[in-house]
Chain A
């Protein structure tokens, strides 16, 4: 076990005498306390905690602005990684023990401890908090691995099924399509109805073919042709492919694309497919028209990734450059109870209107094999924002382009 030489301690206590006692004890073991701050209110404590990073907080539960276990819960909610030792009034052993179940690491009973016990309690509390965090982290990883396993098993089954079904369906579709072509050539009594029926049949076949093609895409995601691409070109191509949908649905498109975006290593056809998918989702979310905004910009990830809380820390590192592509609509948003399912294969809100429910799950697969990620959220002022994140692999890119470029990054 690593023994901490010095502690950064925050004392939250509204009783002046109790506070002074604690402070003097902490200073007595001065080799242990490297930073000591005090507050007589919860608000003051939270303020200090946002300024300094403390190892441990000694907390009185009953403060002028917060009483009882709520004090602990509020503090924990905002700063879940700080160890907390509760300072309870005399003869409140039961209260003290209870606080442990609300997330405190230890408790002290006023008047029943000395500097030595205090010091020991603080160190134990920090160690307990560290182990607790490790446990939570380990649990999260197991849970994630399990989810990924379930997901990949699900996809494997769907993939095998898809390629089989797609092939079996495409053959009869081909027979139908050529058969219709033959009939339309050889129909002697021509009237308008025959033409429109034939047209409808052709469309139905095309639609069925599109659906099984989507399924096939699922099964064939293994081979990628990654090249360095300008993402703005890929966006332009994607927008071009679905241009006719915009005028038909009374949708205006706003592009906010940064001028000097770094290149990204992608399979442009696959990423085009993802972008088209997001745009079509946006179009479908606005049956009465609206506005689609396509943004693309790059940024260097900050030290704590706080600005991008959705990114997984084991995959994205501070200082890393990423390219962000967002498609936003002004539609009705995703119902809160559905948002957890949107990446599930065959989940769709448009069952019966041509939706198969593979678009987003294919998109997620494609982003996964690009080491990127995708997330979809409701915007605060209505509508949905779908975001794609691409890694800009500067070091690898530098090596590929020769040593000189590589040196420039240092």
Chain B
């Protein structure tokens, strides 16, 4: 089984760089970064991700709008999206069993284990 592809859509460059580094260091993932929310769909088409990590509050375009745009494309109907955002606390996420309103969430900041666990749980097995 090859590496699973993850697309990070987040306008915080430092953050997305670190996440890419740490996820790739596990040897399991190949990570693509898109810092411009306006390019999100284009980036998804290019990278064909198995899972998308999506920020909520971004310059230009908000995360939920990006999610609607990507999910609205027939290629990505089944692609899991995990919201990785500072707008929620990990406590709220844990209370919802990892989800809020049916969507997968990981709070910023939260431990690496929580992020890895959420990715594994939401990734559709190949």
A interface, CB within 8 angstroms of B: 166-167, 170-179, 181-182, 185-186, 205, 209, 213, 216, 269
Contacts and interface: CB of A to CB of B under 8 A. Distances in A.
B89 A216 contact: yes
A186 B57 CA distance: 31
B89 A213 contact: yes
B35 to A, nearest CB: 13
B12 A182 contact: no
Contacts of B110: 174, 177
A119 to B, nearest CB: 71
Nearest to B56: A167
A269 B25 CA distance: 38
Contacts of A205: 109
B87 interface: yes
Contacts of A167: 57, 86-87
A181 B22 contact: yes
B115 A178 contact: yes
A34 B95 CA distance: 67
Given A175-B12, A186-B25, 15 more contacts: A166-B86, A167-B57, A167-B86, A173-B108, A173-B109, A174-B109, A177-B109, A177-B112, A178-B109, A179-B22, A181-B111, A182-B21, A185-B22, A205-B109, A269-B95
A175 B21 CA distance: 11
30 contacts: A167-B57, A171-B15, A171-B86, A171-B108, A172-B15, A173-B108, A173-B109, A174-B86, A175-B12, A175-B14, A175-B15, A176-B109, A177-B109, A177-B110, A178-B15, A178-B18, A178-B19, A178-B109, A178-B115, A181-B22, A181-B111, A181-B112, A182-B21, A182-B22, A182-B25, A185-B22, A185-B25, A209-B109, A213-B89, A216-B89
Contacts of B14: 172, 175
Contacts of B109: 170, 173-174, 176-178, 205, 209
Interface residues of B, number: 19
Interface in B1-39: 12, 14-15, 18-19, 21-22, 25
Given A175-B15, A216-B89, A170 B22 contact: no
Contacts of A171: 12, 15, 86, 108
Nearest to B95: A269
A51 B87 CA distance: 62
A5 B12 CA distance: 79
B86 A178 contact: no
Contact of A179 (B12, B18, B87, B89): B18
A182 B31 CA distance: 15
B118 to A, nearest CB: 13
Question: Which of B12, B89, B110 counts the most A-chain CB atoms under 10 A from its CB?
Answer: B89
Contact of B112 (A166, A173, A178): A178
B15 A174 contact: yes
A181 B25 CA distance: 11
Contacts of B22: 178-179, 181-182, 185
Interface string B94-119: 01000000000000111110010000
Contacts of A185: 22, 25
Contacts of B108: 170-171, 173-174
Nearest to B12: A171
Q: What 9 A-B pairs have minimum CB-CB distances, sorted nearest first?
A: A170-B86, A174-B108, A174-B109, A181-B112, A177-B109, A175-B15, A173-B109, A182-B22, A178-B18
B82 to A, nearest CB: 14
Nearest to A213: B89
Nearest to B57: A167
B95 to A, nearest CB: 8
A179 B109 CA distance: 11
Nearest to A216: B89
Contacts of A269: 95
A172 B86 CA distance: 10
Contacts of B12: 171, 175
Nearest to A208: B109
Contacts of B87: 167
B57 A175 contact: no
A216 B108 CA distance: 13
Contacts of B115: 178
Nearest to B112: A181
A150 to B, nearest CB: 29
A178 B17 CA distance: 10
A205 B115 CA distance: 17
A210 to B, nearest CB: 10
A309 B95 CA distance: 39
Interface in B44-96: 57, 86-87, 89, 95
A241 to B, nearest CB: 11
A346 B67 CA distance: 38
